[in-house]
Chain A
Protein backbone atom coordinates (compact mmCIF):
# COMPACT_ATOMS: atom_id res chain seq x y z
CA UNK A 1 0.00 0.00 0.00
CA UNK A 2 2.91 2.29 0.70
CA UNK A 3 2.73 5.05 -1.82
CA UNK A 4 6.10 6.62 -2.50
CA UNK A 5 5.91 10.08 -3.95
CA UNK A 6 7.38 10.96 -7.31
CA UNK A 7 7.62 14.69 -6.71
CA UNK A 8 11.11 16.17 -6.71
CA UNK A 9 11.73 19.20 -4.48
CA UNK A 10 13.09 22.11 -6.51
CA UNK A 11 14.65 25.47 -5.79
CA UNK A 12 11.22 27.03 -6.27
CA UNK A 13 9.92 24.98 -3.34
CA UNK A 14 12.73 26.18 -1.11
CA UNK A 15 11.98 29.77 -2.07
CA UNK A 16 8.28 29.33 -1.36
CA UNK A 17 8.95 27.83 2.07
CA UNK A 18 11.45 30.59 2.85
CA UNK A 19 9.02 33.30 1.79
CA UNK A 20 6.25 31.87 3.91
CA UNK A 21 8.61 31.45 6.84
CA UNK A 22 10.18 34.90 6.61
CA UNK A 23 6.97 36.88 6.22
CA UNK A 24 4.27 34.81 7.93
CA UNK A 25 5.84 32.57 10.55
CA UNK A 26 4.30 32.88 14.03
CA UNK A 27 1.27 34.87 12.86
CA UNK A 28 -0.94 32.02 14.04
CA UNK A 29 0.87 31.66 17.36
CA UNK A 30 -1.57 30.58 20.08
CA UNK A 31 -1.49 29.05 23.54
CA UNK A 32 -2.80 25.68 22.41
CA UNK A 33 -0.39 24.62 19.67
CA UNK A 34 1.96 27.61 19.59
CA UNK A 35 3.70 27.50 16.18
CA UNK A 36 1.78 24.35 15.23
CA UNK A 37 -0.46 25.79 12.54
CA UNK A 38 2.49 27.88 11.35
CA UNK A 39 4.49 24.75 10.60
CA UNK A 40 1.58 23.42 8.56
CA UNK A 41 1.10 26.74 6.75
CA UNK A 42 4.77 26.93 5.76
CA UNK A 43 4.84 23.34 4.45
CA UNK A 44 1.33 23.08 2.97
CA UNK A 45 2.10 23.72 -0.74
CA UNK A 46 4.88 21.12 -0.68
CA UNK A 47 2.75 18.61 1.22
CA UNK A 48 0.08 19.00 -1.45
CA UNK A 49 2.62 18.35 -4.19
CA UNK A 50 4.08 15.35 -2.36
CA UNK A 51 0.83 13.59 -1.51
CA UNK A 52 -1.69 15.02 -3.97
CA UNK A 53 -4.90 16.93 -3.20
CA UNK A 54 -7.85 15.16 -1.54
CA UNK A 55 -5.92 12.00 -0.68
CA UNK A 56 -6.10 10.35 2.74
CA UNK A 57 -2.29 10.67 2.82
CA UNK A 58 -2.42 14.45 2.59
CA UNK A 59 -5.03 14.61 5.35
CA UNK A 60 -2.83 12.48 7.59
CA UNK A 61 0.21 14.62 6.82
CA UNK A 62 -1.72 17.83 7.50
CA UNK A 63 -2.86 16.48 10.86
CA UNK A 64 0.68 15.47 11.76
CA UNK A 65 2.06 18.90 10.98
CA UNK A 66 -0.77 20.74 12.75
CA UNK A 67 0.41 19.41 16.12
CA UNK A 68 2.08 21.38 18.90
CA UNK A 69 5.34 22.88 17.74
CA UNK A 70 7.55 25.64 19.13
CA UNK A 71 11.15 26.57 18.56
CA UNK A 72 13.28 29.60 17.90
CA UNK A 73 11.98 31.39 14.78
CA UNK A 74 15.49 31.99 13.44
CA UNK A 75 16.38 28.31 13.16
CA UNK A 76 13.02 26.57 12.61
CA UNK A 77 13.56 25.99 8.86
CA UNK A 78 16.44 23.64 9.71
CA UNK A 79 13.75 21.26 10.99
CA UNK A 80 11.58 21.89 7.92
CA UNK A 81 14.56 21.14 5.66
CA UNK A 82 15.32 17.83 7.34
CA UNK A 83 11.61 16.96 7.39
CA UNK A 84 11.29 17.68 3.68
CA UNK A 85 14.30 15.50 2.84
CA UNK A 86 12.79 12.55 4.68
CA UNK A 87 9.18 12.96 3.52
CA UNK A 88 10.09 13.49 -0.12
CA UNK A 89 12.10 10.26 -0.02
CA UNK A 90 10.05 7.98 2.22
CA UNK A 91 6.56 9.38 1.77
CA UNK A 92 3.65 8.78 4.12
CA UNK A 93 5.44 5.94 5.91
CA UNK A 94 7.90 8.39 7.39
CA UNK A 95 5.36 10.59 9.19
CA UNK A 96 5.97 8.90 12.52
CA UNK A 97 9.72 9.39 12.19
CA UNK A 98 9.22 13.00 11.16
CA UNK A 99 6.94 13.59 14.13
CA UNK A 100 9.57 12.28 16.51
CA UNK A 101 12.25 14.29 14.77
CA UNK A 102 10.27 17.49 15.11
CA UNK A 103 9.72 17.09 18.84
CA UNK A 104 13.28 15.86 19.29
CA UNK A 105 14.89 18.78 17.50
CA UNK A 106 12.70 21.70 18.52
CA UNK A 107 14.04 21.73 22.09
CA UNK A 108 17.79 21.73 21.37
CA UNK A 109 17.35 24.12 18.43
CA UNK A 110 15.30 26.47 20.61
CA UNK A 111 18.11 26.46 23.15
CA UNK A 112 20.78 27.28 20.56
CA UNK A 113 18.60 29.76 18.66
CA UNK A 114 17.30 31.58 21.72
CA UNK A 115 20.72 32.02 23.28
CA UNK A 116 22.26 33.37 20.07
CA UNK A 117 19.45 35.07 18.12
CA UNK A 118 17.07 36.03 20.93
CA UNK A 119 19.44 37.14 23.67
CA UNK A 120 23.12 37.51 22.80
CA UNK A 121 22.94 39.27 19.45
CA UNK A 122 20.06 41.62 20.36
CA UNK A 123 21.83 42.43 23.64
CA UNK A 124 25.14 43.33 22.00
CA UNK A 125 23.63 45.09 18.97
CA UNK A 126 21.00 46.75 21.17
CA UNK A 127 23.65 47.99 23.59
CA UNK A 128 25.65 49.54 20.74
CA UNK A 129 22.56 51.12 19.17
CA UNK A 130 21.20 52.42 22.48
CA UNK A 131 24.58 53.72 23.57
CA UNK A 132 24.76 55.86 20.42
CA UNK A 133 21.05 56.75 20.53
CA UNK A 134 21.14 58.29 24.02
CA UNK A 135 23.78 60.66 22.64
CA UNK A 136 21.43 61.51 19.79
CA UNK A 137 23.28 59.45 17.18
CA UNK A 138 21.13 57.10 15.04
CA UNK A 139 24.07 55.31 13.35
CA UNK A 140 23.93 52.33 15.73
CA UNK A 141 20.38 51.60 14.58
CA UNK A 142 21.65 51.21 11.05
CA UNK A 143 24.30 48.71 12.20
CA UNK A 144 21.56 46.68 13.85
CA UNK A 145 19.39 46.74 10.74
CA UNK A 146 22.25 45.57 8.52
CA UNK A 147 23.19 42.81 10.98
CA UNK A 148 19.60 41.55 11.01
CA UNK A 149 19.49 41.46 7.21
CA UNK A 150 22.57 39.23 7.33
CA UNK A 151 20.71 36.97 9.77
CA UNK A 152 17.75 36.88 7.34
CA UNK A 153 20.15 35.73 4.61
CA UNK A 154 21.43 32.94 6.87
CA UNK A 155 17.82 31.92 7.59
CA UNK A 156 17.24 31.80 3.83
CA UNK A 157 20.19 29.52 3.00
CA UNK A 158 19.90 27.19 5.97
CA UNK A 159 16.80 25.46 4.53
CA UNK A 160 18.44 23.87 1.44
CA UNK A 161 21.50 23.17 3.57
CA UNK A 162 19.43 21.25 6.12
CA UNK A 163 17.65 19.44 3.25
CA UNK A 164 20.97 18.17 1.90
CA UNK A 165 22.82 17.50 5.14
CA UNK A 166 19.97 16.12 7.24
CA UNK A 167 20.44 15.46 10.94
CA UNK A 168 24.24 15.50 10.69
CA UNK A 169 23.99 19.27 10.30
CA UNK A 170 22.66 19.67 13.82
CA UNK A 171 25.42 17.58 15.42
CA UNK A 172 28.07 19.31 13.28
CA UNK A 173 26.69 22.71 14.25
CA UNK A 174 26.61 22.01 17.94
CA UNK A 175 30.38 21.74 18.44
CA UNK A 176 31.35 24.90 16.60
CA UNK A 177 28.41 26.84 17.99
CA UNK A 178 29.37 25.93 21.54
CA UNK A 179 32.82 27.43 21.00
CA UNK A 180 31.29 30.48 19.36
CA UNK A 181 28.68 30.93 22.09
CA UNK A 182 31.34 30.76 24.77
CA UNK A 183 33.44 33.43 23.06
CA UNK A 184 30.38 35.58 22.43
CA UNK A 185 29.25 35.38 26.06
CA UNK A 186 32.75 36.45 27.11
CA UNK A 187 32.40 39.52 24.91
CA UNK A 188 28.88 40.03 26.23
CA UNK A 189 29.98 40.03 29.87
CA UNK A 190 32.88 42.38 29.07
CA UNK A 191 30.64 44.80 27.17
CA UNK A 192 28.07 44.85 29.99
CA UNK A 193 30.90 45.81 32.35
CA UNK A 194 31.82 48.67 30.03
CA UNK A 195 28.20 49.79 29.68
CA UNK A 196 27.68 49.88 33.44
CA UNK A 197 30.57 52.30 33.62
CA UNK A 198 29.21 54.67 30.97
CA UNK A 199 25.45 54.55 30.65
CA UNK A 200 24.10 54.82 34.18
CA UNK A 201 24.25 58.53 34.93
CA UNK A 202 23.45 58.45 38.60
CA UNK A 203 25.33 60.09 41.45
CA UNK A 204 25.20 60.89 45.14
CA UNK A 205 24.35 64.58 45.59
CA UNK A 206 24.71 64.36 49.36
CA UNK A 207 26.96 67.04 50.85
CA UNK A 208 27.96 66.82 54.50
CA UNK A 209 28.99 69.81 56.57
CA UNK A 210 31.26 68.81 59.42
CA UNK A 211 32.15 71.98 61.25
CA UNK A 212 33.80 74.19 58.65
CA UNK A 213 34.68 71.31 56.36
CA UNK A 214 32.37 70.51 53.46
CA UNK A 215 32.49 66.91 52.28
CA UNK A 216 31.09 66.14 48.83
CA UNK A 217 30.33 62.44 49.08
CA UNK A 218 30.48 61.83 45.31
CA UNK A 219 34.01 63.24 45.23
CA UNK A 220 35.11 60.87 47.99
CA UNK A 221 33.59 57.93 46.12
CA UNK A 222 35.34 58.94 42.91
CA UNK A 223 38.65 58.84 44.74
CA UNK A 224 38.07 55.19 45.63
CA UNK A 225 36.83 54.18 42.21
CA UNK A 226 35.01 56.21 39.58
CA UNK A 227 31.58 54.77 38.66
CA UNK A 228 31.49 52.80 41.90
CA UNK A 229 27.84 53.77 42.54
CA UNK A 230 26.49 52.43 39.20
CA UNK A 231 28.60 49.29 39.67
CA UNK A 232 27.24 48.63 43.15
CA UNK A 233 23.64 49.33 42.06
CA UNK A 234 23.87 46.81 39.20
CA UNK A 235 25.29 44.29 41.67
CA UNK A 236 22.38 44.96 44.02
CA UNK A 237 19.76 44.55 41.26
CA UNK A 238 21.54 41.39 40.06
CA UNK A 239 21.14 39.98 43.55
CA UNK A 240 17.50 41.13 43.68
CA UNK A 241 16.73 39.32 40.41
CA UNK A 242 18.09 36.09 41.88
CA UNK A 243 15.52 36.08 44.66
CA UNK A 244 12.58 33.70 44.56
CA UNK A 245 9.40 34.86 42.78
CA UNK A 246 11.22 37.87 41.35
CA UNK A 247 10.44 38.80 37.76
CA UNK A 248 12.17 41.40 35.62
CA UNK A 249 8.99 43.51 35.49
CA UNK A 250 8.69 43.49 39.29
CA UNK A 251 12.35 44.43 39.61
CA UNK A 252 11.87 47.39 37.27
CA UNK A 253 9.05 48.77 39.43
CA UNK A 254 10.97 48.20 42.66
CA UNK A 255 13.89 50.15 41.20
CA UNK A 256 11.61 53.03 40.17
CA UNK A 257 10.08 53.29 43.65
CA UNK A 258 13.42 53.02 45.44
CA UNK A 259 14.93 55.63 43.10
CA UNK A 260 12.10 58.08 43.84
CA UNK A 261 12.47 57.57 47.59
CA UNK A 262 16.27 57.89 47.51
CA UNK A 263 16.01 60.99 45.34
CA UNK A 264 13.56 62.60 47.75
CA UNK A 265 15.96 61.84 50.61
CA UNK A 266 18.83 63.36 48.66
CA UNK A 267 20.84 60.13 48.48
CA UNK A 268 20.60 59.56 44.72
CA UNK A 269 20.23 61.97 41.84
CA UNK A 270 20.48 62.10 38.09
CA UNK A 271 24.12 62.66 37.19
Chain B
Protein backbone atom coordinates (compact mmCIF):
# COMPACT_ATOMS: atom_id res chain seq x y z
CA UNK B 1 0.00 0.00 0.00
CA UNK B 2 2.82 2.38 0.92
CA UNK B 3 4.52 4.26 -1.86
CA UNK B 4 1.54 4.36 -4.16
CA UNK B 5 -0.31 7.46 -5.17
CA UNK B 6 -3.30 6.70 -7.41
CA UNK B 7 -3.48 8.45 -10.75
CA UNK B 8 -6.74 10.18 -9.78
CA UNK B 9 -5.00 11.51 -6.68
CA UNK B 10 -2.11 12.78 -8.80
CA UNK B 11 -4.53 14.52 -11.16
CA UNK B 12 -6.60 16.11 -8.38
CA UNK B 13 -3.49 17.37 -6.59
CA UNK B 14 -2.13 18.77 -9.88
CA UNK B 15 -5.44 20.50 -10.59
CA UNK B 16 -5.45 22.05 -7.14
CA UNK B 17 -1.84 23.24 -7.54
CA UNK B 18 -2.90 24.97 -10.78
CA UNK B 19 -5.99 26.50 -9.22
CA UNK B 20 -4.16 27.85 -6.17
CA UNK B 21 -1.84 30.14 -8.13
CA UNK B 22 -4.80 31.64 -10.00
CA UNK B 23 -6.54 32.21 -6.66
CA UNK B 24 -3.41 33.74 -5.16
CA UNK B 25 -3.09 36.24 -8.02
CA UNK B 26 -6.73 37.27 -8.28
CA UNK B 27 -9.42 36.74 -5.65
CA UNK B 28 -7.06 35.88 -2.76
CA UNK B 29 -9.52 33.68 -0.90
CA UNK B 30 -6.80 32.08 1.29
CA UNK B 31 -7.29 28.74 -0.51
CA UNK B 32 -3.77 29.19 -1.88
CA UNK B 33 -2.22 29.22 1.58
CA UNK B 34 -0.17 26.24 2.86
CA UNK B 35 -2.71 25.38 5.60
CA UNK B 36 -5.40 24.98 2.94
CA UNK B 37 -3.00 23.00 0.77
CA UNK B 38 -2.49 20.72 3.76
CA UNK B 39 -6.22 20.25 4.30
CA UNK B 40 -7.00 19.67 0.62
CA UNK B 41 -4.02 17.41 -0.07
CA UNK B 42 -4.75 15.56 3.15
CA UNK B 43 -8.38 15.04 2.14
CA UNK B 44 -7.34 13.75 -1.30
CA UNK B 45 -4.78 11.41 0.25
CA UNK B 46 -7.10 10.22 3.01
CA UNK B 47 -5.45 11.70 6.11
CA UNK B 48 -6.74 15.21 6.88
CA UNK B 49 -5.05 15.49 10.28
CA UNK B 50 -1.59 14.80 8.89
CA UNK B 51 -2.24 17.27 6.08
CA UNK B 52 -3.27 19.94 8.59
CA UNK B 53 -0.15 19.37 10.67
CA UNK B 54 2.16 19.64 7.64
CA UNK B 55 0.26 22.60 6.19
CA UNK B 56 0.21 24.34 9.56
CA UNK B 57 3.96 23.85 10.06
CA UNK B 58 4.81 25.21 6.61
CA UNK B 59 2.35 28.08 7.12
CA UNK B 60 4.23 29.07 10.26
CA UNK B 61 7.57 28.77 8.46
CA UNK B 62 6.57 31.33 5.82
CA UNK B 63 4.46 33.53 8.10
CA UNK B 64 6.28 36.74 7.29
CA UNK B 65 7.13 35.97 3.68
CA UNK B 66 5.16 38.01 1.17
CA UNK B 67 5.56 39.05 -2.43
CA UNK B 68 6.56 42.66 -2.72
CA UNK B 69 7.10 44.49 -5.98
CA UNK B 70 6.89 41.31 -8.02
CA UNK B 71 9.63 39.32 -6.35
CA UNK B 72 9.17 35.57 -6.21
CA UNK B 73 8.47 34.04 -2.84
CA UNK B 74 9.18 30.56 -1.56
CA UNK B 75 6.30 28.40 -2.81
CA UNK B 76 5.15 26.80 0.42
CA UNK B 77 1.88 25.76 -1.19
CA UNK B 78 3.45 23.32 -3.65
CA UNK B 79 5.85 22.25 -0.90
CA UNK B 80 2.89 21.37 1.29
CA UNK B 81 1.14 19.42 -1.48
CA UNK B 82 4.16 17.21 -2.12
CA UNK B 83 5.15 16.85 1.54
CA UNK B 84 1.60 15.83 2.47
CA UNK B 85 1.15 13.44 -0.44
CA UNK B 86 4.47 11.64 0.08
CA UNK B 87 4.27 11.71 3.85
CA UNK B 88 0.93 9.92 3.74
CA UNK B 89 1.74 7.55 0.87
CA UNK B 90 5.20 6.58 2.12
CA UNK B 91 4.43 6.71 5.83
CA UNK B 92 6.87 9.48 6.64
CA UNK B 93 6.70 11.40 9.92
CA UNK B 94 5.03 14.83 9.50
CA UNK B 95 7.88 16.96 10.92
CA UNK B 96 10.42 15.05 8.84
CA UNK B 97 8.34 15.55 5.69
CA UNK B 98 8.21 19.31 6.32
CA UNK B 99 12.00 19.62 6.50
CA UNK B 100 12.95 16.89 4.01
CA UNK B 101 10.35 17.49 1.27
CA UNK B 102 8.31 20.65 1.98
CA UNK B 103 11.10 23.18 2.26
CA UNK B 104 13.37 21.94 -0.58
CA UNK B 105 10.40 21.73 -2.97
CA UNK B 106 9.13 25.15 -1.91
CA UNK B 107 12.46 26.79 -2.64
CA UNK B 108 13.03 24.92 -5.91
CA UNK B 109 9.65 26.16 -7.13
CA UNK B 110 10.93 29.75 -6.99
CA UNK B 111 12.64 28.92 -10.29
CA UNK B 112 9.46 27.83 -12.06
CA UNK B 113 7.71 30.94 -10.72
CA UNK B 114 10.40 33.08 -12.34
CA UNK B 115 10.06 31.08 -15.57
CA UNK B 116 6.29 31.65 -15.59
CA UNK B 117 6.62 35.39 -15.05
CA UNK B 118 9.26 35.49 -17.77
CA UNK B 119 7.13 33.57 -20.28
CA UNK B 120 4.33 36.09 -19.83
CA UNK B 121 6.53 38.74 -21.43
CA UNK B 122 5.77 37.01 -24.73
CA UNK B 123 2.06 37.80 -24.40
CA UNK B 124 2.85 41.34 -23.27
CA UNK B 125 4.74 41.90 -26.54
CA UNK B 126 1.80 40.56 -28.53
CA UNK B 127 -0.50 43.00 -26.72
CA UNK B 128 1.88 45.87 -27.52
CA UNK B 129 1.56 44.95 -31.20
CA UNK B 130 -2.20 44.32 -31.13
CA UNK B 131 -2.86 47.82 -29.79
CA UNK B 132 -1.50 49.21 -33.06
CA UNK B 133 -3.71 46.80 -34.98
CA UNK B 134 -6.74 47.88 -32.91
CA UNK B 135 -7.73 44.26 -32.42
CA UNK B 136 -9.59 44.57 -29.13
CA UNK B 137 -10.74 40.99 -28.62
CA UNK B 138 -7.24 39.71 -29.39
CA UNK B 139 -5.78 42.07 -26.77
CA UNK B 140 -8.12 40.62 -24.17
CA UNK B 141 -7.48 37.07 -25.34
CA UNK B 142 -3.71 37.42 -25.17
CA UNK B 143 -3.96 38.97 -21.74
CA UNK B 144 -5.96 35.99 -20.51
CA UNK B 145 -3.47 33.55 -22.09
CA UNK B 146 -1.16 34.67 -19.28
CA UNK B 147 -3.02 32.21 -17.09
CA UNK B 148 -1.28 29.28 -18.84
CA UNK B 149 2.34 30.06 -17.89
CA UNK B 150 1.16 30.71 -14.35
CA UNK B 151 -0.78 27.47 -13.99
CA UNK B 152 1.79 25.32 -15.78
CA UNK B 153 4.60 26.74 -13.63
CA UNK B 154 2.90 24.93 -10.73
CA UNK B 155 1.09 22.07 -12.49
CA UNK B 156 3.99 20.55 -14.44
CA UNK B 157 6.52 20.18 -11.59
CA UNK B 158 3.85 19.00 -9.13
CA UNK B 159 2.55 16.41 -11.60
CA UNK B 160 6.03 15.11 -12.48
CA UNK B 161 7.11 14.88 -8.85
CA UNK B 162 3.94 13.06 -7.79
CA UNK B 163 3.99 10.68 -10.73
CA UNK B 164 7.66 9.75 -10.67
CA UNK B 165 8.88 10.67 -7.19
CA UNK B 166 6.91 8.09 -5.22
CA UNK B 167 9.38 5.21 -5.41
CA UNK B 168 12.30 7.44 -4.61
CA UNK B 169 10.58 8.80 -1.51
CA UNK B 170 9.57 5.38 -0.17
CA UNK B 171 13.13 4.11 -0.58
CA UNK B 172 14.39 7.24 1.19
CA UNK B 173 11.94 6.68 4.05
CA UNK B 174 13.16 3.07 4.47
CA UNK B 175 16.80 4.14 4.60
CA UNK B 176 16.02 7.00 6.99
CA UNK B 177 14.16 4.69 9.37
CA UNK B 178 16.82 1.98 9.43
CA UNK B 179 20.36 3.17 8.69
CA UNK B 180 20.08 6.91 9.12
CA UNK B 181 18.08 7.24 12.32
CA UNK B 182 20.15 10.24 13.41
CA UNK B 183 19.29 12.10 10.21
CA UNK B 184 15.64 11.22 10.57
CA UNK B 185 15.65 12.63 14.12
CA UNK B 186 17.54 15.69 12.92
CA UNK B 187 15.01 16.37 10.18
CA UNK B 188 12.18 16.04 12.69
CA UNK B 189 13.93 18.52 14.98
CA UNK B 190 14.43 20.85 12.01
CA UNK B 191 10.74 20.58 11.15
CA UNK B 192 9.84 21.51 14.70
CA UNK B 193 12.24 24.44 14.66
CA UNK B 194 11.16 25.87 11.29
CA UNK B 195 8.27 27.94 12.68
CA UNK B 196 10.96 29.90 14.56
CA UNK B 197 12.21 31.13 11.17
CA UNK B 198 8.70 32.24 10.23
CA UNK B 199 8.33 34.19 13.46
CA UNK B 200 11.75 35.81 13.05
CA UNK B 201 10.97 36.84 9.44
CA UNK B 202 7.68 38.30 10.62
CA UNK B 203 9.39 40.27 13.37
CA UNK B 204 11.74 41.71 10.75
CA UNK B 205 8.70 43.25 9.02
CA UNK B 206 7.13 44.53 12.24
CA UNK B 207 8.31 47.53 14.27
CA UNK B 208 9.80 45.33 17.03
CA UNK B 209 11.81 48.10 18.70
CA UNK B 210 8.73 50.28 19.08
CA UNK B 211 6.54 47.54 20.50
CA UNK B 212 9.22 45.50 22.32
CA UNK B 213 7.26 45.67 25.58
CA UNK B 214 4.36 43.82 23.99
CA UNK B 215 6.66 41.16 22.53
CA UNK B 216 7.95 40.42 26.03
CA UNK B 217 4.42 40.52 27.44
CA UNK B 218 2.98 38.15 24.84
CA UNK B 219 5.86 35.72 25.20
CA UNK B 220 6.07 35.62 29.00
CA UNK B 221 2.32 35.50 29.59
CA UNK B 222 1.93 32.60 27.17
CA UNK B 223 5.04 30.77 28.41
CA UNK B 224 3.70 30.83 31.97
CA UNK B 225 0.11 29.98 31.12
CA UNK B 226 0.92 27.20 28.66
CA UNK B 227 3.28 25.55 31.18
CA UNK B 228 0.62 25.84 33.86
CA UNK B 229 -2.11 24.40 31.66
CA UNK B 230 0.07 21.54 30.42
CA UNK B 231 1.04 20.63 33.98
CA UNK B 232 -2.57 20.70 35.15
CA UNK B 233 -3.51 18.55 32.17
CA UNK B 234 -0.84 15.99 33.04
CA UNK B 235 -1.95 16.05 36.65
CA UNK B 236 -5.60 15.57 35.67
CA UNK B 237 -4.90 12.64 33.38
CA UNK B 238 -2.77 10.93 35.99
CA UNK B 239 -5.38 11.47 38.69
CA UNK B 240 -8.13 10.14 36.46
CA UNK B 241 -6.09 6.99 35.87
CA UNK B 242 -5.50 6.47 39.59
CA UNK B 243 -8.89 7.39 41.06
CA UNK B 244 -12.13 6.34 39.46
CA UNK B 245 -14.18 9.00 41.22
CA UNK B 246 -12.04 11.77 39.76
CA UNK B 247 -13.69 13.48 36.81
CA UNK B 248 -13.04 16.74 35.03
CA UNK B 249 -11.96 17.98 31.66
CA UNK B 250 -8.70 19.81 31.17
CA UNK B 251 -8.00 21.82 28.04
CA UNK B 252 -4.79 23.39 26.87
CA UNK B 253 -4.36 27.15 27.16
CA UNK B 254 -6.83 29.17 25.07
CA UNK B 255 -4.92 31.15 22.44
CA UNK B 256 -8.01 33.24 21.78
CA UNK B 257 -7.96 34.44 25.38
CA UNK B 258 -4.26 35.29 25.06
CA UNK B 259 -4.95 37.15 21.81
CA UNK B 260 -7.83 39.08 23.40
CA UNK B 261 -5.48 40.52 26.01
CA UNK B 262 -3.31 41.75 23.13
CA UNK B 263 -6.35 43.13 21.36
CA UNK B 264 -7.18 45.23 24.42
CA UNK B 265 -3.74 46.85 24.23
CA UNK B 266 -4.13 47.39 20.48
CA UNK B 267 -7.50 49.12 20.91
CA UNK B 268 -5.97 51.43 23.49
CA UNK B 269 -3.12 52.24 21.12
CA UNK B 270 -5.55 52.99 18.28
CA UNK B 271 -7.62 55.35 20.44
CA UNK B 272 -4.51 57.11 21.64
CA UNK B 273 -3.28 57.55 18.06
CA UNK B 274 -6.58 58.90 16.78
CA UNK B 275 -6.77 61.37 19.66
CA UNK B 276 -3.22 62.49 19.03
CA UNK B 277 -3.99 62.92 15.33
CA UNK B 278 -7.16 64.89 15.97
CA UNK B 279 -5.24 67.10 18.36
CA UNK B 280 -2.50 67.86 15.82
CA UNK B 281 -5.11 68.46 13.11
CA UNK B 282 -6.96 70.82 15.40
CA UNK B 283 -3.76 72.59 16.37
CA UNK B 284 -2.67 73.09 12.75
CA UNK B 285 -6.17 74.13 11.73
CA UNK B 286 -6.20 76.69 14.51
CA UNK B 287 -2.78 77.99 13.49
CA UNK B 288 -3.76 78.33 9.83
CA UNK B 289 -7.19 79.78 10.37
CA UNK B 290 -6.41 82.41 12.98
CA UNK B 291 -4.97 85.11 10.67
CA UNK B 292 -7.81 84.65 8.18
CA UNK B 293 -10.40 84.90 10.88
CA UNK B 294 -8.90 88.12 12.10
CA UNK B 295 -8.93 89.53 8.58
CA UNK B 296 -12.52 88.53 8.10
CA UNK B 297 -13.47 90.09 11.38
CA UNK B 298 -11.73 93.30 10.44
CA UNK B 299 -13.49 93.37 7.09
CA UNK B 300 -16.77 92.71 8.82
CA UNK B 301 -16.17 95.66 11.07
CA UNK B 302 -15.39 97.94 8.19
CA UNK B 303 -18.56 96.97 6.35
CA UNK B 304 -20.47 97.39 9.56
CA UNK B 305 -19.13 100.96 9.91
CA UNK B 306 -20.05 101.83 6.33
CA UNK B 307 -23.62 100.83 6.88
Residues of A within 8 A of B (CB): 22-34, 36-38, 40-41, 44, 48, 53-54, 58-59, 62-63, 66, 70, 73-74, 110, 114, 117-119, 122-123, 125-134, 136-138, 140-141, 144-145, 147-149, 151-152, 175-176, 178-180, 182-202, 222, 225-227, 230-231, 233-234, 237-238, 240-242, 248-249, 251-253, 255-256, 259-264, 268-271
Residues of B within 8 A of A (CB): 22, 25-31, 33-36, 38-39, 48-49, 52-53, 55-57, 59-70, 74, 95, 99, 103, 107, 110, 117-118, 120-121, 123-125, 127-128, 131-132, 134, 136, 139-140, 143-144, 146-147, 150, 182-183, 185-197, 199-208, 210-212, 214-224, 226-227, 253, 255, 258-259, 262-263, 265-267, 269-270, 273-274, 277, 281
Q: Cα distance A122–B65 when bound, in Å?
A: 10
A196 contact from B33, B61, B188, B219, Cβ within 8 A: B219
Q: In the assembled complex, which residues on chain A have CB atoms less than 8 Å from the CB atom of B136?
A: 44, 48, 53
The CB with the most chain B CB atoms within 10 A, among A24, A53, A145, is that of A24
**Shortest Cβ distance from A230 into chain B, in angstroms?**
6
Q: In the assembled complex, which residues on chain B have CB atoms less than 8 Å from the CB atom of A59?
A: 131-132, 134
Q: A141 contacts B30, CB within 8 Å?
A: yes
**Shortest Cβ distance from B71 into chain A, in angstroms?**
10
Q: Is the interface of A mostly helix, strand, loop or mixed?
A: helix
**Shortest Cβ distance from B37 into chain A, in angstroms?**
11
Q: In the assembled complex, which residues on chain A have CB atoms less than 8 Å from the CB atom of B211?
A: 185-186, 189-190
Q: Cα distance A66–B87 when bound, in Å?
A: 46
**Shortest Cβ distance from A238 into chain B, in angstroms?**
4
Q: Cα distance A60–B253 when bound, in Å?
A: 62
Interface CB pairs A-B, < 8 A, 19:
A30-B121, A32-B125, A126-B59, A128-B255, A136-B53, A144-B30, A145-B29, A180-B270, A182-B269, A190-B214, A192-B199, A193-B217, A197-B218, A226-B223, A249-B110, A252-B194, A260-B187, A263-B190, A270-B189
**Shortest Cβ distance from B185 into chain A, in angstroms?**
5
Q: In the assembled complex, which residues on chain A have CB atoms less than 8 Å from the CB atom of B146?
A: 27-30, 37
Q: In the assembled complex, which residues on chain B have CB atoms less than 8 Å from the CB atom of A36?
A: 124
Given A200-B195, A264-B182, also A141-B39 (CB < 8 A):
yes
Q: Cα distance A134–B188 when bound, in Å?
A: 15
Q: In the assembled complex, which residues on chain A have CB atoms less than 8 Å from the CB atom of B74?
A: 248-249, 252
The CB with the most chain B CB atoms within 10 A, among A58, A144, A249, A252, is that of A252
Q: A27 contacts B25, CB within 8 Å?
A: yes
Chain B residue at smallest Cβ distance from A255? B197
Q: A74 contacts B124, CB within 8 Å?
A: no
Q: In the assembled complex, which residues on chain B have CB atoms less than 8 Å from the CB atom of A242?
A: 204
Q: A137 contacts B273, CB within 8 Å?
A: no
Q: A70 contacts B95, CB within 8 Å?
A: no
Q: In the assembled complex, which residues on chain A have CB atoms less than 8 Å from the CB atom of B127?
A: 28, 37, 40, 66
Q: Cα distance A196–B266 when bound, in Å?
A: 19
Chain B residue at smallest Cβ distance from A22? B27
Q: B192 contacts A184, CB within 8 Å?
A: no
**Shortest Cβ distance from A173 into chain B, in angstroms?**
13
Q: In the assembled complex, which residues on chain A have CB atoms less than 8 Å from the CB atom of B66?
A: 114, 118-119, 122
Q: B218 contacts A193, CB within 8 Å?
A: yes
Q: Cα distance A26–B124 when bound, in Å?
A: 12
Chain B residue at smallest Cβ distance from A47? B136
**Shortest Cβ distance from A252 into chain B, in angstroms?**
5
Q: In the assembled complex, which residues on chain A have CB atoms less than 8 Å from the CB atom of B206?
A: 185, 188-189, 192
Q: B266 contacts A184, CB within 8 Å?
A: yes
B120 contact from A30, A131, A132, Cβ within 8 A: A30
Q: Cα distance A268–B186 when bound, in Å?
A: 9
**Shortest Cβ distance from A205 into chain B, in angstroms?**
10
B197 contact from A34, A117, A252, Cβ within 8 A: A252
Given A32-B121, A259-B190, also A186-B143 (CB < 8 A):
no
